[in-house]
Amino acid sequence: MTILLKYFRVWWLMTSHSIQMFFVSRLGALLFLSGKIMRFIFFFGFLLLLFTKTKTFAGYNLNQVLLFYFTFNLIDSATQMLFREVYRFRYYIVSGNFDMLLVKPVNPLFRSLFGWTDILDLITLGPFILMIIFVLTKIPAISFGHLFVYFALIINSMLLATSFHIMVLSLAVMTTEIDHAIMIYRDVVGMGKLPIDIYKEPLRSLITFVIPVGLMMTFPVKALLGVLNFRLVLYTFIFTLTLLFLSINFWNYSLKKYTSASS
């Protein structure tokens, strides 16, 4: 408990610093936030336009598809908010400043993951949660059990995203390359804006069980709607824990192969 409190204080100090930086460059931050909002609105308008021509999409009605989209944005914004430091990690490697992280009394993985909290994504979380609640009121027959599994799978999705970001950091330590890896991750995860049922086999299975976009973005909503069986729910948790274990071991391996830029 003492360790958790210590790391929470460290995270809060780093978050406070990132919030202060937001007020230093307010115009740029507001322009960036406006761009995110406009991108969300355009895709939301696309979905509304789509349902003027059809009543269902891959077997789902408008409210259900919106639930997929809003849940995707919630998970995506939460991961970007927490792990924005990953996008800046290459600088630490090529400049040699990563050496300083290794000698400090804070776990370097924790510092590399949570060193920068993006307040712009934090701002968007509230509206996404309200949108999800509003859409849920439009969908009948949602049980408390399904709602519980939905929240559990969202937490599971955050752990999956954590695993991917740890792997990206590990690759950066070994190769100094991170920009392309994180952008590939962003592009692949973007396939989860809509239910993976829209994709044909074998692509659907590929992005479900190999590249787990489906597990991360689609399965929580499917569980909420009661169309996901228990075996797949159990598989999702086992897959996530396995991937998290492997990613941490990969990080430890990359540290052994790390060669300081100053050496």
**DSSP secondary structure string, 166-213?**
HHHHHHHHHHS--HHHHHHHHHHHGGGGS-GGGSPTTHHHIIIIISTH
Could you tell me the two tokens for 258? 């790390």
Note the pTM of the prediction, 2 decimals.
0.90
In this prediction, residue 29 carries a pLDDT of 67
Span 203-229, pLDDT tens digits? 888 888 888 888 999 999 999 998 999
Of 68, 69, 226, 239, nearest to 159 (Cα)?
239
Distance from the first to the final alpha carbon of the chain:
38
Q: Which residues in the chain land under pLDDT 70?
A: 1, 23-29, 261-263
In this prediction, residue 1 carries a pLDDT of 64
In this prediction, residue 73 carries a pLDDT of 93
- Degrees, nearest 5: CA angle 175-179-185: 105
In this prediction, residue 261 carries a pLDDT of 62
b/e for 190-206, b at 16 or more Cβ within 10 A?
ebbbbbbbebeeeeeee
DSSP-derived letter for residue 112 is H
In this prediction, residue 28 carries a pLDDT of 66
- What's the number of CA atoms in the CB half-sphere (13 Å) around residue 91? 5
In this prediction, residue 209 carries a pLDDT of 85
In this prediction, residue 57 carries a pLDDT of 84
**Cβ atoms of 157 and 33 closer than 8 Å:** no
* In the chain, where the domains are located: 2-256
Span 113-124, pLDDT tens digits? 998 888 878 888
